[in-house]
Amino acid sequence: MQTIVSGLPYVTRSVRIDTSRGVSVQFYARQIPLFVCVGERSEPQPATDAVVFPAVLDTGFNRDFLCQESHLSELAGIRASGLDWVDAAWVYANRALGEAADAKVVAANVWLFGNVPGKRALSRGLAIRLDVDPGIHVILDASQPNDAQYRRPRVPLLGLHALERAGLRVIIDTKQRTVDIEAPD
């Protein structure tokens, strides 16, 4: 197994993580921030100028990756309209009640980056492609409340399913309050 994330301290109290684009992302106690980037589905590797940003590992989220349309633009510098639309999705909206889709699936991939061992800091060294098929879920800004404090999800979510599909081993050490993620050789 190859270690990607090593001794990453998870959040024990509210903390802000700054991005290279000057945006600060708020994480709360017991959240696990991981470093990711989003890119075109056809790219085998992340672009050399790809913007890496934090997303929370959400073990209860049953999709691969979810973010707001504004997360893509503000955190990653990507316009959702520039990515191929694969499908409509109902994430918070209720399809059974006839509500309109509140999200779209766009053809993109997510790469998981490692950390500086033992620190909540990005290491640009190793990146693992998480094959999120058919793509990532993006909540449309038009379906969100105007007041940003009520928009969902608050931070981008990386679901356990994406890590499982990649065959990654996730170790959450609650005694040390750290996370390790390993990839098969």
Contact 103, 90 (CB under 8 A): yes
pLDDT of residue 94: 82
- C-alpha–C-alpha distance, residues 102 and 47, integer Å: 29
CATH number of the domain within which 73 lies: 2.40.70.10
Does 185 have pLDDT greater than 90?
no
Question: What share of the chain in percent tops pLDDT 90?
Answer: 64
Does 147 have pLDDT greater than 70?
no
The overall average pLDDT reported for the chain is 90
Convert the pLDDT of each residue in 35-67 to its tens digit.
999 998 888 899 888 899 999 999 988 889 999
**Average pLDDT for residues 23-29, to the nearest whole number?**
93
Q: Quick one: CA dihedral 67, 37, 18, 173, positive or negative? A: positive
What total number of domains does the chain contain? 1
Reported for 127-130, long-range contacts at CB under 8 A and 24+ positions apart, including other chains, are 127/37, 127/45, 127/46, 128/4, 128/166, 128/168, 128/183, 129/44, 129/45, 129/46, 129/166, 130/64, 130/65, 130/158, 130/162, 130/163, 130/165, 130/166
Does 28 have pLDDT greater than 90?
yes
- C-alpha–C-alpha distance, residues 59 and 69, integer Å: 22
pLDDT of residue 150: 58
Segments forming the whole domain that contains residue 85: 2-183
Q: Which of the four pLDDT bands, split at 50, 70 and 90, describes residue 149?
A: low
- C-alpha–C-alpha distance, residues 80 and 103, integer Å: 11
pLDDT of residue 90: 87
* Residue 142, both tokens: 């038009």
Q: The tokens 């999709």 sit on which residue?
A: 63
| β-bridge pairing 103-106 and 24-27 | unpaired
Convert the pLDDT of each residue in 67-126 to its tens digit.
999 999 999 999 888 899 999 988 888 888 888 888 899 999 999 999 999 999 999 888
